[in-house]
Structure 1
Amino acid sequence: MYDHVLLPTDGSEAAMDAENEAFEITTTNDATLHVLFVVDETAGPLNVRGGDERFEEAESEGEETVSEIVDRATEAGVEDVTDVVRRGVPHEEILDYADEYCDLVVMGTRGRSGLDRQLLGSVTEKVVRRSNPSVLTVRVGSEGT
């Protein structure tokens, strides 16, 4: 049913909660898992003095994060894993990558509502609303429920 499953991550609890769902879907469908970390070029703290060094540090953290997920995926029986770190606007990079390579996106969501969601926006919500491939959202703490 699915050949390429995208697991975007920022290393958060929400992203980690989506891992097991992505691993299960990938192994069940004998699919390729794509793990994507996006360094947010619009993030305020990275755009201050020394920004290039901070972006490089964020990329290193992203590489470490995806490497750890690749290890966990392999332990869970996923045979084919691709890991990618990109710079850009997170939802745009996720959408571009999904459109080019994947037929399912599995993402965590924090379940924000009200003012929090309006002020901060939600990468997951933007992906859900604009994605061509299907998107499965996994709520924080939903593991085992």
Structure 2
Amino acid sequence: MFKKILFATDGSECAKMAEKYAIELAKDENGEITAITVGDISYAAVPIGIDGTTMLQVTLADAIENETKNAEKRLNEFKQTAEKENIKVNTIVKIGKPDTEIIEESEKDYDVIIIGSKGLRGMERFFLGSVAERVVRYSKIPVLVVKNKKGEDED
């Protein structure tokens, strides 16, 4: 039923909990996992200096390089863990808006998305939502959202 699993990770504690579910489901279903992580560089898209253009390009290039390195490290660690369980793993690193990139990838013939939720609090949640909430809202396939162990907000 869930042979092609899209596991979205950001390296948070909730994502580490979701990792366990992805591995167990793949073992139970004799499935394979595609692990995706999306480097969100929106924090670097702020103009710096008087005109902002030259320094912004350097800042964005540095941010992309940094996010890509961190993402590759995170995915390689996951891949090693899953492969110890004899699970086939593909990895994808994207740079962009996490929910958008996850949804776009999910449209490529997956059976389920597994994602951790950080559980945003109060007004921040009301105005912004979370990546997991937007993935649930816009996904055309089932989504398993994994909260942290105690079900509490993570900060």
Answer whether TM exceeds 0.5 for this pair. Answer: yes
SS at match of 2:136: helix
Residue 113 of structure 1: how far off its partner (Å): 3.9
Alignment of structure 1 residues 1-145 onto 2, 5 Å: 1-41=1-41, 43-44=42-43, 46-48=44-46, 49=56, 50-75=59-84, 77-141=85-149
The 1:30–1:123 alpha-carbon spacing in structure 2 relative to 1, beyond 3 Å, is: same
The 1:28–1:139 alpha-carbon spacing in structure 2 relative to 1, beyond 3 Å, is: same
RMSD: 1.7
The list of structure 1 runs, each at least 4 consecutive aligned residues, that deviate by more than 6 angstroms after superposition, is none
Name the TM-score, length of structure 2 as normaliser.
0.83
Residue 111 of structure 1: how far off its partner (Å): 2.5
SS at match of 1:132: coil
In structure 2, runs of 5+ residues without a counterpart are 47-55
Residue 47 of structure 1: how far off its partner (Å): 2.4
Aligned length: 140
- Structure number having the greater strand percentage: 1
Structure 1 Cα separation of the partners of residues 89 and 150 of structure 2:
24
Residue 31 of structure 1: how far off its partner (Å): 0.8
1:8-31 superposed Cα distances (whole Å, 9 cap, x missing partner):
011111111101011000111111
Aligned-residue sequence identity (percent) comes to 30
Name the TM-score, length of structure 1 as normaliser.
0.89
